[in-house]
């Protein structure tokens, strides 16, 4: 399989683990929306927002709660079904970031919560610019495990050793966000540090929903998860984990 085929397979892997995803993935702190509004220079209230790669709606629900008029956009049937179960009152359109099913100049803000890396930026950036109104913005963010913390670094090493063809870690975002300035957008960035307190089982369910494990068969995945359970219980004998994140946000604003 080529690298691109591997990548596309991973992009389509979420549907089979949608319930685990919705249950165990970390959400986003309220400060994310504050930082987004500050970098954009506008408030979310009443703004027409497209949440692309909405998945099960974790970010969509946060945006709606802060007053956005938000439409979810999601290509995966499994993730879309979980979205409709978790957020039955919010609208969802089936589609992807490289070919947005929306009219020109019909949105104020387009968000990609942990989803922009699944698009091809040479297609998704011009698509977003086409759909945005003047002064509109693209917001992309990733909830990255904070690898300044030793147990996170140790887990990264274990995953890289167990899944050399699939696990690349968090390789930096510039290969994606580097497409914004050449397209004439004004770019701002903020990194927010936060943590959650969860059980080892919760962390393992979250891991199951990560593309590098979700794209394996259950038989291939089981020994990796068993080794991970053992390592985590050695590190956290009481079964409770404080999991640190660095939330990396980039906002790119179109000319007014």
Ligand X SMILES: C[S@@+](CC[C@H](N)C(=O)[O-])C[C@H]1O[C@@H](n2cnc3c(N)ncnc32)[C@H](O)[C@@H]1O
92-94/186-199 β-pairing: unpaired
Q: Which three-class secondary structure state does DSSP give residue 33?
A: helix
Taking the complex as a whole, how short is the minimal distance between the CB of residue 96 and ligand X, in angstroms?
3
Taking the complex as a whole, how short is the minimal distance between the CB of residue 209 and ligand X, in angstroms?
8
Residue whose CB is less far from ligand X, 39 or 50 = 50
Number of residue whose CB is nearest ligand X:
55
Residue whose CB is less far from ligand X, 221 or 236 = 221
Taking the complex as a whole, how short is the minimal distance between the CB of residue 175 and ligand X, in angstroms?
15
State the residues that interact with ligand X by CB under 6 A: 11, 14, 25, 52-55, 58-59, 74-76, 79, 96-98, 113-115, 118-119
Count of Cβ atoms closer than 10 Å to residue 1 Cβ? 9
Q: Where are the beta strands (DSSP E) in 58-149?
A: 69-74, 92-94, 107-113, 132-145
Whether 115 contacts 139, CB under 8 Å: no
| Proportion of the chain in helix, strand, coil states, percent, rounded to 5 | 45, 25, 30
**Cα dihedral 99, 101, 107, 109 sign:** negative
Residue whose CB is less far from ligand X, 54 or 185 = 54
Whether 70 contacts 45, CB under 8 Å: no
CA angle at residue 196 from 195 to 200, to 5 degrees?
Answer: 125
- In whole angstroms, what is the distance from residue 2 CA to residue 43 CA? 43
Whether 92 contacts 54, CB under 8 Å: yes
Taking the complex as a whole, how short is the minimal distance between the CB of residue 14 and ligand X, in angstroms?
4
Taking the complex as a whole, how short is the minimal distance between the CB of residue 235 and ligand X, in angstroms?
25
Residue whose CB is less far from ligand X, 25 or 231 = 25
Residue whose CB is less far from ligand X, 186 or 251 = 251
Q: Which three-class secondary structure state does DSSP give residue 164?
A: coil
Taking the complex as a whole, how short is the minimal distance between the CB of residue 150 and ligand X, in angstroms?
25
Which helix (H) or strand (E) segment is 189 a member of?
strand 186-199
Residue whose CB is less far from ligand X, 37 or 74 = 74
Residue whose CB is less far from ligand X, 63 or 185 = 63
Taking the complex as a whole, how short is the minimal distance between the CB of residue 77 and ligand X, in angstroms?
9
List, in sequence order, every residue forming a beta bridge with 208; answer none if it has no partner. none
């Amino acid at each position: 399989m080529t690298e691109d085929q591997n990548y596309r397979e991973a992009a389509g892997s979420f549907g089979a683990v949608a319930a685990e995803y919705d249950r165990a993935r970390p959400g986003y702190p309220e400060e994310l929306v504050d930082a987004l509004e500050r970098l954009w220079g506008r408030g979310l209230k009443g703004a027409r927002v497209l949440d692309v790669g909405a998945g099960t709606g974790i970010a969509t629900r946060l945006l709606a709660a802060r007053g956005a008029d938000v439409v979810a956009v999601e290509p995966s049937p499994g993730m879309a079904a979980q979205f409709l179960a978790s957020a039955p009152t919010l609208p969802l359109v089936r589609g992807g970031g490289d070919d947005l099913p929306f009219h020109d100049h019909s949105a104020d803000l387009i968000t990609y919560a942990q989803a922009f890396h699944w698009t091809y930026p040479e297609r998704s950036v011009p698509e977003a610019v086409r759909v945005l109104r003047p002064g509109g913005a693209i917001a992309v963010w990733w909830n990255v495990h904070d690898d300044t913390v030793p147990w996170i670094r140790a887990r990264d090493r274990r995953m890289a050793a167990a899944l050399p063809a699939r696990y690349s870690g968090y390789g930096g975002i510039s290969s994606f966000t580097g497409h914004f300035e050449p397209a004439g957008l004004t770019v701002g960035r903020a990194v927010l540090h936060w943590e959650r307190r969860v059980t080892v089982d919760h962390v393992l369910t979250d891991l199951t929903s990560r593309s590098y494990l979700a794209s394996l068969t259950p038989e291939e995945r089981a020994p990796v998860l068993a080794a991970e359970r053992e390592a985590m219980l050695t590190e956290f004998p009481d079964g409770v984990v404080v999991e640190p994140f660095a939330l990396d946000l980039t906002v790119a604003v179109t000319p007014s």
